[in-house]
Amino acid sequence: MRGADSYNESLFTTVKLEDFVPANHPLRPIRTWVNDALAKMDAKFSAMYEADIKGGRPSIAPEKLMRAMLLQVLYSVRSERQLVEQIQYNLLFRWFVGLAIEDAVWNHSVFSKNRDRLIEHDAVTELFNATVEMANKRGLLSGEHFSVDGTLIQAWASHKSMRRKDGSDDGRPPEDWRGEPRSNDTHESTSDPESQLYRKSNAAPALPSYLGHVLTDNRHGLVVNVQASTADGTAERDVAAQMLADVAGPGKRVTVGADKAYDTKGFVKACREINVTPHVAQNINRNGGSAIDGRTTRHPGYEVSQRKRKRIEQCFGWGKLIGPIRQVMVQGLDKVDQLLTLTMAAYNLTRLRTLAQLRPQCAQ
């Protein structure tokens, strides 16, 4: 018998959002881990709103904002306006954020107004550190063998925004710059002054950019440190040395794999001063030759580090294909750093979920 094409909506319903999400949905373990991490950040969230405790309307819960920000990365939602729209009608998003079916969704401008507050209190950094601690407790980190690399992050600015610092071209149309040499010494972007003209190779154009730096553990390729910086020729090695200093310690010997860009005497010397063995790829075509020799390359661990270091490209590829760091839609170094850190936190959570499926003992 043919069924009738009718629509009758009940006035009341007893169905919960929990019932709409399959028991084996990949977001379930991620939500559990995120909730545990956010619960430990309760004191920090209280401090964030301490100045407003005397009066005013209650804010949107920062836990809900951070869950929504994670969803934006995990599901490649292009803008916060689209994110709010999807939370409005997507039951899975409502469940993950923590909104009931009848709860109203906040305005998209809430993200912009709270971004500086989250940066000031390092809330996203603490969430990222929580993902690293989760991996460490589950025995997924070696703590001794690492890889480091950097990637180009295109800024939310165009060539037309590049103007002379002295203002001598104020009366000139922004698109009329053909034949005019440009450099970071003479020009800066009016849209994002902290971005720098930079290119990764001679075949690529110089674009307003930032650099993203990542330190990964070689055991499973999980990110253990992340930082954004302005784009210049030495930033990759300088920031790498800073991140390695955080994981190295007295009486602790660690190794780091890196590509040829890190094969410089300065970086090798900085590594050895903090008890880090530099397993960098040899750049024998450089003037003066490689900064390391057979005393480093003869050991089997060098070959292992060179093989493992290529895994670091996976987090960059994920962050640019799934995440938003190919060209960020925020301006300013602090905001770019926050977005990069959030992206790597989301990447760690997806890796933890995958590893938990392969190793059930790591799921708890």
Query: Hey, what CATH topology would domain 142-168+182-331 get?
Result: Nucleotidyltransferase; domain 5 (3.30.420)
* Both tokens assigned to 355: 């590893």
Per-residue model confidence as pLDDT tens for the chain (364 residues): 777 787 777 777 778 888 899 999 999 999 999 999 999 999 888 888 876 666 667 788 899 999 999 999 999 999 999 999 999 999 999 999 999 888 899 999 999 888 888 998 899 999 999 999 999 999 999 999 999 999 999 999 988 888 888 877 776 776 666 777 888 888 889 899 999 999 888 888 889 999 999 999 999 999 999 999 999 889 999 999 999 999 987 778 899 999 999 999 999 999 999 999 999 999 888 888 898 988 889 999 999 999 999 999 999 999 999 999 999 999 999 999 999 999 999 999 999 999 988 776 655 5
The CA distances from residue 30 to 93, 121, 130, 342, in Å, are 13, 23, 12, 14
Q: What are the extents of the domains in the chain?
A: 17-121, 142-168+182-331
DSSP 199: -
**β pairing state of 207-217 and 145-154:** antiparallel
Distance CA 181, CA 183 (A): 7
Distance CA 43, CA 53 (A): 14
Closest CA to 276 of 254, 293, 295: 254
- Where would I find the beta strands (DSSP E) of the chain? 145-154, 162-164, 187-189, 196-198, 207-217, 223-230, 254-258, 276-280
- In DSSP notation, 118-140 reads HHHTTHHHHHHHHHHHHHHHTT-
| Residue 10: per-residue pLDDT | 74
| Residue 48: per-residue pLDDT | 84
For residue 260, the SS3 value is helix
CB 155 within 8 A of CB 192: yes
Distance CA 70, CA 175 (A): 37
* Both tokens assigned to 168: 């001598």
* Both tokens assigned to 326: 């190919």
Closest CA to 215 of 352, 341, 339, 38: 341
Question: Helix H segments across 6-145?
Answer: 17-20, 27-40, 42-48, 62-74, 80-89, 91-97, 109-120, 123-137
The rounded Cα 197 to chain-centroid distance in angstroms is 21
CB 218 within 8 A of CB 305: yes
| Amino acid type, 136 | N
| Residue 184: per-residue pLDDT | 86
Distance CA 200, CA 127 (A): 31
Torsion angle, alpha carbons of 84, 107, 64, 192, to 10: 80
| Residue 243: per-residue pLDDT | 95
